Amino acid sequence: AQKVTQAQTEISVVEKEDVTLDCVYETRDTTYYLFWYKQPPSGELVFLIRRNSFDEQNEISGRYSWNFQKSTSSFNFTITASQVVDSAVYFCALSEAYNNNDMRFGAGTRLTVKP
Amino acid sequence: GAVVSQHPSRVICKSGTSVKIECRSLDFQATTMFWYRQFPKKSLMLMATSNEGSKATYEQGVEKDKFLINHASLTLSTLTVTSAHPEDSSFYICSARMGRGRSTDTQYFGPGTRLTVL
């Protein structure tokens, strides 16, 4: 069965520091999608990125970047020059092509960015 | 685009009453909607998958008679918590899947509904 592990429960950094959130996944499928979502204190999940299993190119979007490494089954997320507004819980998720409908979330990493 | 709304955002009810939560995709049609439950400081747990015009598929351990799901149209799914008890208090989040309904299309989430049962 698919599984997503976010080993870092909580991370605290000072503003302007870079921070990397780890995500390790397990799947039997060769076709799958990985996601990152942000959940600010308001509770709403904000979609950040979707990456398919055939595309290992790293992606950068402003201060956000993602490193997908199939060899280590990891999909890590880095925030550069963190800001207080980045404080939130971040979830990594996996969806398998053969397992229709099922998206599994990691436990989440609570990021606190202090001024 | 890809906006999903939920109503109400917060509800407090007495034990034994039923509560209905609505989930709407505002700017797209969603053949599939999902209902999740999130306990404090925990991850999202999928409760059920709702397909328009058919019965919902419930995850193991989720009581279908307690959590009634109706997906009457391509833009609306409802979750009714029947005879609510304090242990049903939780944060309920819906999501809607864009695209042609493929399993790996992105899910967009609603803002959630915080249910408190007294």
Q: Which of B57, B103, B112 sits opposite A99 (nearest CB)?
A: B103
Strand pairing partners for B91?
B38, B114
Q: Using the predicted structure, report yes or no on whether residue B22 has a pLDDT greater than 80.
A: yes
Q: What is the pLDDT of residue A83?
A: 97
> What's the rounded mean pLDDT across residues B89-100?
85
Q: Which residues of A touch B111 (CB under 8 A)?
A: 42-44
Q: How many CB pairs under 8 A join A and B?
A: 58
With residue B28 as reference, give the H or E element that holds it.
none
Q: Are B13 and B83 in contact (CB under 8 A)?
A: no
Q: What is the pLDDT of residue B69?
A: 94
Q: Which residue of B has its CA nearest to A36?
A: B106
Contact flag A52-B110 (C-beta cutoff 8 Å): no
DSSP track, A33-72: EEEEEEE-TT---EEEEEEETT----EEETTEEEEEEGGG
Query: CB of B103 within 8 Å of any CB in chain A?
Result: yes
Could you report the per-residue pLDDT of A43-74, keeping only the tens digit for each?
A: 889 989 999 898 888 888 999 999 999 999 99
Q: What is the pLDDT of residue B106?
A: 77
Segment among A6-10, A13-17, B77-81, B99-103 with least mean pLDDT: B99-103
Q: What is the pLDDT of residue A91?
A: 96
Cα angle vertex A56, ends A52, A62, to 5°? 90
Query: CB of B46 within 8 Å of any CB in chain A?
Result: yes
Distance of CA A106 to the CA centre of its chain: 9
Could you report the per-residue pLDDT of B100-116, keeping only the tens digit for each?
A: 555 557 788 999 999 99
Length of chain A: 115
Q: What is the pLDDT of residue A31?
A: 87
Query: CB of A108 within 8 Å of any CB in chain B?
Result: yes
Higher pLDDT, B52 or A92: A92
Query: CB of A13 within 8 Å of any CB in chain B?
Result: no
Pairing of strands A59-61, A64-69: antiparallel
Q: Are A90 and A38 in contact (CB under 8 A)?
A: yes
Q: Are B51 and B30 in contact (CB under 8 A)?
A: no
Interface of B with A in 49-78 (CB under 8 A): 49, 57
Q: How confident is the model at residue B97 (pLDDT cuts 50, 70, 90)?
A: confident
Question: What are phi and psi for residue A40, nearest 5 degrees?
Answer: -70, 175
Tokens 């997906």 -> residue: B71
Q: What is the pLDDT of residue A100?
A: 58
Q: Write out the E strands in chain B.
A: 4-7, 10-13, 19-25, 32-38, 44-51, 57-58, 67-73, 76-81, 90-97, 107-109, 113-117
Q: Which of B32, B43, B46 sits opposite A108 (nearest CB)?
A: B43
